[in-house]
Amino acid sequence: GHLFQLESHKFERGRGRCPFDPSSSFTSILIGGELFTGLYSDYWGRDAALFRTMNRMVHLRTEPDNERLLKEPKFIGSYMIPDNEDHDDNKVYFFFTEKALEAETSTHAIYTRVGRVCANDMGGQRVLVNKWTTFLKTRLVCSVPGRNGIDTHFDELEDVFLLQTRDNKNPVIFGLFNTTSNIFRGYAICVYHMASVRAAFNGPYAHKEGPEYHWALYERKVPYPRPGSCASKVNGGLYTTTKDYPDEAVHFARSHPLMYQPIKPVHKRPILVKTDGKYNLKQIAVDRVEAEDGQYDVLFIGT
């Protein structure tokens, strides 16, 4: 859905800009002349990555063959959401599903994720050259609390909608989810505030000591600058590019892309659940309207 000008008489590569197979999942956002995409870039549909391609900045991508970063993702959406007035602190958020390595089953369960990068990431100098050094992700939970503590999860994100508010740093996020279970079928809509998104990314990292260990809470010292933070003035201005980040911080980011805490929806439950099985719900849009007795969010849910 994006148009951009290509120079004539110049050889242009499509890799990283459009999916090899148009039927595979794809997301893109154009920010200040830079194209951010999530796509499968090869014929075999194995090389899934988040890219930044265009003219001005260096081309970046997720490190290939690192399943900790992305495992068979389905890309749903991408948005730039600023954290503050400092443009160097701008972050791009990717919504996708993937096979969750931390789910302790032989066939990995599907989870919905929010991943994010700094828009001004320049990659590393010695490690992660031309790769994201600021990528982090966490689970986006949409579940109905059950008796005896067992929740019903809606793990398959179908669509996401950002409702802009007067404050561009704090849009309201609406997610339309499907279940992945073959026993229980249904859809749910969950709402998230940016405060919970930021809290998860500012929280503890998940850690895996070795192949025989479970993913657990990382409790030791976190390197500086904190992995996932941008080279910006608000972060102390000590670093003006991620290329100057100490190797230790870049190594840590590479091995700890997953946050320990998931993002929970407003009121810790969906605002709508549909289990009648009549429709295959695929898209959502939201309009906030003023009525005589207050404000309403009108949901448009498409098949």
Interface with ligand NAG by CB under 6 A: which residues? 158, 178, 185, 280-282
Bridge partners, residue 190, by sequence: 175
CB 72 within 8 A of CB 99: yes
Q: Which is nearer to ligand NAG, 180 or 241 (CB)?
A: 180
Q: Which is nearer to ligand NAG, 161 or 201 (CB)?
A: 161
CB 1 within 8 A of CB 34: no
| Smallest distance, ligand NAG to C-beta of residue 72, A | 15
Structure tokens at 91: 């972050």
| Smallest distance, ligand NAG to C-beta of residue 67, A | 23
65's torsion region: left (phi>0), alpha (psi -120 to 50) or beta?
A: left
- Nearest by Cα to 133 from 230, 59, 223: 230
Q: Which amino acid is at 72?
A: E
Q: Which is nearer to ligand NAG, 188 or 231 (CB)?
A: 188
| Smallest distance, ligand NAG to C-beta of residue 188, A | 11
| Smallest distance, ligand NAG to C-beta of residue 76, A | 11
Q: Which is nearer to ligand NAG, 236 or 302 (CB)?
A: 302
d(CA 109, CA 156): 10
Q: How far is CA 77 from CA 1, 62, 150, 185, in A?
A: 12, 17, 29, 23
Q: Which is nearer to ligand NAG, 34 or 98 (CB)?
A: 98
| Smallest distance, ligand NAG to C-beta of residue 51, A | 25
